[in-house]
Amino acid sequence: MPIQRRTFLAGTAAAATLTSAPKIHAASKDKQYRTALIGAGWWGMNILREAMAGGQTKVVALCDVDSDRLEINAEEVSDLSGDTPRTYRDYRELFEKEDVDVAIIATPDHWHALNALAAIEAGAHVFIEKPTGHTIGESQAVLAASRAADRIVQVGLHRRIGPHHVSGMKFLKDGGAGDIGLVRMFVHSRGGAEKPTRNSEPPENLDWDMYCGPAPLRPYCRRIHPGGFRHFLDFANGTLGDWGVHWLDQMLWWSDQQSPTSVHSTGGRPIAGAAVLNDDEQTTDAPDHQTATYEFDSFTATWEHRKFAGQGPEQTSIGCYFFGTQGTFHIGWRDGWTFYPADSKKQVIHQDAELQEPDGHNLKLLYADFLRSIETGNRPAADITVGHQATTLALLGMLSMKLGRSVRWDAGAGQIIGDDEANGMLRRTYREPWTYPEIG
Amino acid sequence: MTSMPLYRFSVHGLFVVVFLASFSQCIAEDWYRWRGPSGDGISRETDWKCDWTDGQAEIAWSRSVGTGFSSVVVKDGRAFTLGHVDGQDIVYCINVADGQTVWTFGYPAELDDRDFEGGPISTPTVDGDRLYVMGRAGELFCLQISDGTKLWGKNIADETEVRLPGWGFSAAPLVIGDTLLLNVGESGVAVDKHSGDLLWSSDDRECGYASPVLIPNSEPTAAVIASGKAYVGVDVQSGEQLWAERWLTSFNCNAADPIFHDGKMFLSSGYNRGSALFDISGETPDLIWKSKEMKNQIHTSILYQGHLYGIDGDMETGARLRCMDWSTGDIRWSVDDLRPGGLAMADGKLLLLTEPGDLIIAPATRDGWEPIARSKVLDGKTWTSPVLSGGRIFCRSIRGQLVCVDCRD
């Protein structure tokens, strides 16, 4: 019989009783930041829990278009911290009525920029989930506004600060893998054909019009909310706009934030099947696989994802390979990092991951770094410039795939070179009454 | 046998029960309804064994019962379950001795496999010589258990004009006296179990997925119905809502049955909810403790000797088997890598069916998880609780493989 991994939690205070003290005790630090969470779903609550656990957060407000989410999460905040956050359906009303030091933004991607711009305008520092925009122009607007208002913006790229990422990056930058000519970023999973899900009336607890916001209003379908927006291109940018941002950022970190000269991407839905959207039912519409090639002056980087076939013969299904003269370096998620020397007689070098459960992240470190930046005025580890660059590369990949040709990128000008049609795709048309943000 | 007056059966049956109950604690027990005769998921049978040679249990028979999540009920040597085959939901009556079909009853239904494998998800209920069956779209049937003859049938969702919940109706019908209580609408529907005539109904709101549960020693007789957003105490006679304990999840998914013990009620749901214990001795439930450490997404926990044994977390992304102190909510132990698929208990032992189809037996103790037997019994995805009845353990996969594990002493 295999040995079972066990965690005995005997004696731990698992339950919050009504009479006991709040579970999270504020650390003895002076400043308490009046904090609001915009987008109170699974990931937003992950961030907020870490913020509360850090001891410098007073949760003043939660905002979500799903009133059930708001209620259940406000209750959890009260249980954890003793704070009684006020709840809002509309972030504009929140910023009008609340005095907010810090805004955490964890809405679906198509809302990121408008939420962040409103927060910055209200004088708040911002912890924003990646990507920093649904289109490149939005991300550029957030970057410009935060600089103009001198607000700290930390992007939720916790892989910038996770221990095995830091040690792995030191290994690479110290030349451990030699000269690197190719970086391959990838995420693979299992999957198959996708069946449409029936549309239905939005749940009465959901403000569906506000959920769609600046995106086109489409029929509600429970595949989208809760938790399914990532693979609907009106609201996000599929796997490249999700996981891709993390791994592109690792590549950019290693390369000291170089910019690619050109980007080319292809992808589609040969396995998932044609996207469906009609009055009765719909499917997702993000590609079930995608490849993207980023040409840099001194190396090439590729992205690859597929939602079928699983891990296959590879040792891992997620991360980046850095191919150098001394060997292949893999940086992953739960599997830490591993260096495979080109000389097979040399020993493989490995470092385990150190992650926070239940969801395997390093938000605690990233949030502490964020608050330290607010105190010192120094740039945080995943500053908006960092998040903006990784986001831009992901979105250029999506843009090239939709356009069907490669694009040349002028990072200084924030423009695609010599392609008006492509430049037009740096923005999107917003649904009334929402207006696309102007840059600067 | 059909010509014999009904009352003779009744008298005879009563005599047998009294006779056996007074001479033995170890009789084979008919698991005639969801969560068993005591409604607690625990079988009182002791005459069964799991000393499997070479780690392989004896599979008496294996057969197909169609796609679905329906569990098994057993009565007088016959097992009943539901599954979907080719545009129909099929009610199977199976001889437990050899696995052969005694009869089937079908009704047209969609597989409706969007978001999951599809097929029926409720467990039928035996009451005397009747079998009550609930389909995902509101199909409700009363069948004669001897031969599957339909005594009455209707679509209860259509009749009461209430919406279907996202995944369809999943609750087992509950018989209380002459009333058949169903989790349909905001706080249930009651019909006359003999005629199917509607007694009362509730508002058109999304219902939950848990089965109705009678509150012990309640006056007036009350049951708790899981709605999409609350657990509601209702007067079984009138349908009147006595109280509603608001209980939100991310998907209106209240699927675990409430557990009652000692004037208290335990609730647990997945999807970001957690669990809580309430004092229900007063007019309305009074919170004693709450916790995020036991989130029963699908399966109801089992309360045994002051501890809850349950499956915590999301079945898709990885659930855990846990032991929780009833009185405090403290977690005693947690095993993270079992991939639990379904849980039952008998004779102080947990019967865990894993998602890949392993049956594991371990003493139910607060001290930890120490299995004494393990055997592969099914291939493939299994989320249905195993059922022990008459020394046989019935295990079923979602794709419809039903095996009978012979554990008779």
CATH for the stretch A163-204+230-358+382-419? 3.30.360.10
Residue B290 lies in a domain: yes
Q: Is the pLDDT of residue B130 over 60?
A: yes
B338 chain-A contacts, CB cut-off 8 A:
4
Tell the residue number behind the tokens 């405090």, with chain if given: B328
Please answer yes or no on whether A15 and B251 come within 8 Å at the CB atom: no
Pairs of CB atoms within 8 A across A/B: 94
Domain boundaries, given as residue ranges, for chain A: 33-159, 163-204+230-358+382-419
Q: What kind of fold does domain A33-159 have according to CATH? A: Rossmann fold (3.40.50)
Which residue segment(s) compose the domain that B56 sits in? Answer: 48-66+256-408
Strands (E), A160-261: 180-188, 197-198
Q: How confident is the model at residue B26 (pLDDT cuts 50, 70, 90)?
A: low
Q: Determine contact, residues A73/A40, Cβ cutoff 8 Å.
A: yes
Q: Is the pLDDT of residue B10 over 80?
A: no
Q: Is residue B363 part of a domain?
A: yes
Q: Which residues of chain A does B206 touch, with a Cβ-Cβ cutoff of 8 Å?
A: 203
**B254, B287, B330, B381, best to mutate vs chain A, most A CBs in 10 Å:** B330
Question: Looking at residue B39, what is its pLDDT?
Answer: 96
pLDDT in tens, B219-231: 999 999 999 999 9
- Which of A9, A18, A41 is closest, CB to CB, to B334? A9
Q: pTM to 2 decimals? A: 0.86
Q: Do the beta carbons of residue A87 and residue A78 sit within 8 Å?
A: no
Q: What is the pLDDT of residues B364-377, one digit of tens each?
A: 999 999 999 999 99
Q: Looking at beta carbons, which residues of chain A come within 8 Å of B328?
A: 15
Give whichever of A18-27, B22-31, B316-325 has the largest mean pLDDT: B316-325
ipTM: 0.79
Q: For position B54, what pLDDT does the model report? A: 84
For residue B272, the model assigns a pLDDT of 85
pLDDT digits (tens, 9 = 90+) for A131-161: 999 999 999 999 999 999 999 999 999 999 9
Write out residues in chain A with pLDDT < 70, as ranges: 1-29
Asked whether residue B89 is domain-assigned, the answer is no
Chain B residues with CB within 8 Å of chain A CB? 55, 113-115, 166, 206, 229, 248-252, 272-273, 287-293, 324, 328-338, 368-369, 371, 374
Looking at the domain assignment, is residue B395 inside a domain?
Answer: yes
Of the residues A5, A6, A12, the best mutation for testing chain B's interface (the one with the most B CB atoms within 10 Å of its CB) is A6
CB-nearest partner of B336 from A5, A15, A69: A5
Q: How many domains does chain B have?
A: 1
Chain A contacts of B332, Cβ < 8 Å?
8-10
For residue A46, which residues of chain B lie inside 8 Å, CB to CB?
none
Contact B333 A5 (CB under 8 A): no
Q: How many Å from the N-terminal Cα to the C-terminal Cα in chain A?
A: 64
Spatial contact of B133 and B91, defined as CB atoms under 8 Å apart: yes
B331 contacts A6? CB cut-off 8 A: no
Q: How confident is the model at residue B251 (pLDDT cuts 50, 70, 90)?
A: confident
Residue B231 counted as domain residue: no
SS3 per-residue string spanning chain B: CCCCCHHHHHHHHHHHHHHHHHHCCCCCCCCCCCCCCCCCCEECCCCECCCCHHHCCCEEEEEECCECCCCCEEECCEEEEEEEECCEEEEEEEECCCCCEEEEEEEECCCCCCCCCCCCCCCCEEECCEEEEECCCCEEEEEECCCCCEEEEEEHHHHHCCCCCCCCCCCCCEEECCEEEECCCCCCEEEECCCCCEEECCCCCCECCCCCEECCCCCCCEEEEEECCEEEEEECCCCCEEEEEECCCCCCCCCCCCEEECCEEEEEECCCCEEEEEECCCCCCEEEEEECCCCECCCCCEEECCEEEEEEECCCCCCEEEEEECCCCCEEEEECCCCEEEEEEECCEEEEEECCCEEEEEECCCCCCCCCEEEECCCCCCCCCCEEECCEEEEECCCCEEEEEECEC
pLDDT at position A39? 98
Q: Could you tell me if residue B343 is inside a domain? A: yes
- Average pLDDT, whole number, for chain B? 93
Query: In this structure, what CATH number is given to the domain that contains residue B324?
Result: 2.130.10.10
> Does B302 fall in a domain?
yes
Per the domain annotation, does B278 fall within a domain?
yes
- Partners of residue B340 in chain A, C-beta under 8 Å: none
- Min Cα–Cα distance to chain B from A317, Å: 16
At A287-345, the pLDDT tens digits run 999 999 999 999 999 999 999 999 989 999 999 999 999 999 999 999 999 999 999 99
Stretch B22-39: mean pLDDT, rounded? Answer: 80
